[in-house]
Chains A and B, each alone.
Chain A
Amino acid sequence: MSCIEINQLSHHYSRAEQVLKEVSLKVPEGSIYGFLGPNGAGKTTTLRLILGLLRQQSGEIKILGKPFAPHREALLSKIGSLIENPSVYAQLTAMENLKVWQKVYQCPSTRIEEVLDLVGLGHTGKKKAGQFSLGMKQRLGLAAALLHQPSILILDEPTNGLDPGGIVEMRELLKTLNRELGISILVSSHLLSEVEKLATHVGIIHLGQMLFEGTLDELKKRQQQSSGIQFDTGDGAKALQIIQSQHAAAKLENGQVSVPIHDRALIAELNRQLVQAGIPVYQIQAAQNDLETIFMNLIK
């Protein structure tokens, strides 16, 4: 079952600027869904629409099987969120900040200390949130999102402003929350490496359109399918003809012939045939097939 389901969601800020174009996505319950895309792809707009911060123009948003708009308050009580820059009252301490939200959520006051300890801010005492580093503010924002024990967390670039140690801590914390408390997490990022280490499911968005959605394994499978060998030759077209006669899947990319094969004997055989046909072979190399390349190919 999906805890968040979006169908055909489109949005524009002005008539000329269509930010989202019929975006559909499904976040499976219990998953960590990495919402990936370069800056300006439409990630934040999508998340703000899910949370009702922007007025929905078209499409459908369902959370826990219910349409968002008519059940807004009931659904928001089950969601914790952290959108863009952390929201903290600068003149209040970490504890006072959480007290503000505790009053609204009406959760036990003991939760305040629990979540502060969970995000590593239990020691901040009387220090005002305005004096916190960006990383500490981000963690305080996460503490606020966790205060009412939500079943869904929606986080927009939560590792922004964190140092490498902080990024690892945040990642581990999110994995623990997902694994031990069963919280479904929708987390946006523009860093593939980050999503790769954290997510179980991935959605890739670019220029307001979804380009891929599936499990991380499916993305990796696509990576394997696109892997192979590239022949850099003196005559790409002629080389393609020779190679395609034996491997129909071969194709010409940027003057080089790509073939989805891994067998070393076959590679040697193809090389021999090319040389015999008088085509100079300058280089034989494994095609770049990491997730970064797949991502770049998807958003090209």
Chain B
Amino acid sequence: MQLIHSIQSEWLKTRRSLAAWLVIIGGFFIPGLQLIGRCVHHQQLGARMDDPRYWETFAGNNWQIMSLFLLPMGVVLAASLITQLEYRNNTWKQVHTTPQAFSTIFVSKLSVILTMMLQFMLLFNLGMFLAGILPSLLFSDVDLPKEKFPLRFFWDTSYNFFICSLPVIALQYLISLQFRNFMIPLGLGLGLVIAALIGAEWKHGYWIPYAYTPYNFFIMRGIKMQATQAVNIHHWALGYTLVFIVLAYILYIFKRDKG
């Protein structure tokens, strides 16, 4: 019961926070750009709406930009901003003098980050759906897509990207719990995202957890990479996540100064 109250409390803190805005803006950013482009060039949409794989192609276009850079970067920012809320507002000491177990505080904060990730996925999918269908409703020369909305495909794709984001969330959570200075988790995160993009073609690229969302996109598009053929990146993502969370928990519990 205490955990639920703690999560509710943590969720309230995200109200009007930068992380909360990031989730909303991040979720609608790419679909929003797609929608504007499709509205401006609606005359060229006719043939595309007849595509029997209309939704898969459209989702692929959206995920391409999102998975390569924006998603890992957004995860880095959001996970770091949640703990930064406490550092910036000087509130760790108040949190740690409430009658909650340290484990409860650790889990509730992580739960909020994961919930925000789910919220992002939901908004991104909603954005894609709206961007895919709105031109047909706004312009008479654009028919509705012939293909029925493939709910299962969208679910599976989001699920896989979510799994691939977990190690990034866990490592960023670990780092940001340890450092007051926001630039450290942000700098390390950005560095690792860039390293992942550079090292994506390396045959051992699966060692870099920040490369998993681009890898998932390549798998989605059927592009063969040495790293993705060598291992199951989803299993590696879950393994990394477990290791990072356990490590983050130990470091947090044994932190000498808690505020």
- Tell me the A residues contacting B by CB distance below 8 Å: 48, 51-55, 72-74, 76-77, 79, 81, 83-92, 96, 99-101, 103-106, 141, 144
A99 to B11, CA, bound (A): 11
Contact residue among B9, B88, B90, B257 (Cβ-Cβ distance under 8 Å from A100): B9
Alpha-carbon distance A99/B14, docked complex (angstroms): 13
**What's the minimum C-beta distance from B16 to chain A, rounded to whole angstroms?**
4
- Of A77, A83, A86, the residue contacting B259 (CB under 8 A) is A83
**B13 contacts A92, C-beta separation under 8 Å:** yes
Contacts of A51 in B (CB 8 A): 93, 96-97
B256 within 8 A of A: yes
CB within 8 A of A106: which of B5, B13, B17, B93?
Answer: B5
One of B88, B89, B98, B101 near A101 (C-beta < 8 A)? B98
A91/B91 in contact, CB under 8 A: no
B contacts with A: majority SS: loop
Q: Contact check, A100 vs B93: say whether CB atoms are below 8 A apart.
A: no
A92 to B85, CA, bound (A): 11
B residues 76-95 near A (Cβ < 8 Å) are: 85, 88-91, 93-94
Asked if A104 and B97 make an inter-chain contact with CB atoms under 8 angstroms apart, the answer reads no
The reply to whether B6 and A90 contact each other, CB–CB distance below 8 Å, is no
The interface residues of chain A lying within 8 Å CB-to-CB of B13 are 89, 92, 100
Q: Of A53, A86, A105, which one neighbours B257 at CB under 8 angstroms? A: A53
**A55-B257, A89-B13 are known contacts; what are 18 more A-B pairs with Cβ within 8 Å?**
A52-B258, A53-B93, A73-B99, A73-B100, A76-B98, A77-B99, A79-B97, A83-B259, A84-B93, A86-B90, A89-B85, A92-B13, A96-B15, A103-B12, A104-B6, A104-B98, A104-B99, A105-B99
Q: A52 contacts B96, CB within 8 Å?
A: yes
Flag B107-141 by CB within 8 Å of A: 1 or 0 each.
Answer: 00000000000000000000000000000000000
- B43 at interface, CB cutoff 8 A: no
Measured between alpha carbons, how far is A83 from B90 in the docked complex, in Å? 10
Which residues of B (1-39) have their CB < 8 Å from a CB of A? Answer: 5-6, 8-9, 12-13, 15-17
Assess A53 versus B5: contact at CB under 8 Å? Given A73-B99, A86-B90.
no
Closest 9 CB pairs of A and B: A87-B94, A77-B99, A103-B9, A87-B91, A76-B99, A91-B16, A73-B99, A53-B259, A103-B8
Contacts of B258 in A (CB 8 A): 52-54
Q: Which chain B residues lie closer than 8 Å to A91 at the CB level? A: 15-17
Number of residues on chain B facing chain A (CB within 8 A): 26
Instruction: Report whether A48 and B90 are in contact in the complex, using a CB–CB cutoff of 8 Å.
Output: no
Whether the pair B16, A101 counts as a contact (CB closer than 8 A) is no
Assuming the A-B contacts A87-B93, A87-B94, A96-B15, are A54 and B257 also in contact, with contact meaning beta carbons closer than 8 angstroms in the complex?
yes
Q: Is A48 a contact partner of B99 (Cβ separation < 8 A)?
A: no
Inter-chain CA distance A100–B94, complex, in Å, is 11
Q: Can you name 11 A-B residue pairings with CB atoms under 8 Å?
A: A52-B97, A53-B97, A53-B258, A73-B99, A73-B100, A74-B99, A88-B90, A89-B13, A89-B85, A103-B6, A141-B94
Q: Which of chain B's residues have a CB closer than 8 A to the CB of A76?
A: 97-99
CA distance A100 to B13 in the complex (A): 7
Q: In the complex, what residue of chain B is closest to A57 when comparing beta carbons?
A: B256
Q: Which of A73, A74, A89, A104 contacts B89 (CB 8 A)?
A: A89
How many Å lie between the Cα of A97 and that of B13 in the bound state?
Answer: 8
The residue on A at minimum CB distance from B256 is A55
Query: Once the chains are docked, how many angstroms separate the CA of A90 from the CA of B5?
Result: 22
Q: Given the complex, which residues of A lie within 8 Å of B90, measured CB to CB?
A: 84-88
Q: Which residue of B lies closest to A129 (CB)?
A: B89
The residues of B that contact A73 with a CB separation of less than 8 Å are 99-101
Shortest beta-carbon distance from A7 to chain B in Å: 21
Is B256 in contact with A54, judged by CB distance below 8 angstroms?
yes
A90 to B86, CA, bound (A): 10
Q: From residue B108, how far is it (CB to closest CB) to chain A in Å?
A: 10
Among the interface residues B12, B88, B98, B259, which one has the most CB atoms of the partner chain A within 10 A? B98
Query: How far is A88 from B17 in the complex, measured between Cα atoms in Å?
Result: 13
Q: Which residues of A contact B8 (CB under 8 A)?
A: 103
Question: Among the interface residues A92, A100, A144, which one has the most CB atoms of the partner chain B within 10 A?
Answer: A100
B123 CB, nearest partner CB in chain A, Å: 20
- Residues of chain A within 8 A (CB-CB) of B97 are 51-53, 76, 79, 81, 83
> What's the nearest-Cβ distance from chain B to residue A133, in Å?
16
B-side contacts of A101, CB under 8 Å: 9, 94, 98
Cα(A249)–Cα(B257), bound, Å: 49
The answer to whether A96 and B257 touch (CB under 8 A), given A88-B91, A89-B91, A104-B98, is no
Across-interface contacts of A54 in B (CB, < 8 A): 256-258
Interchain nearest-CB distance for B8 vs A (Å): 5
Residues on B with beta carbons closer than 8 Å to the beta carbon of A55: 256-257
How far apart are B95's CB and chain A's nearest CB, in angstroms?
8
**In whole angstroms, what is the CA distance A54 to B258 when docked?**
6
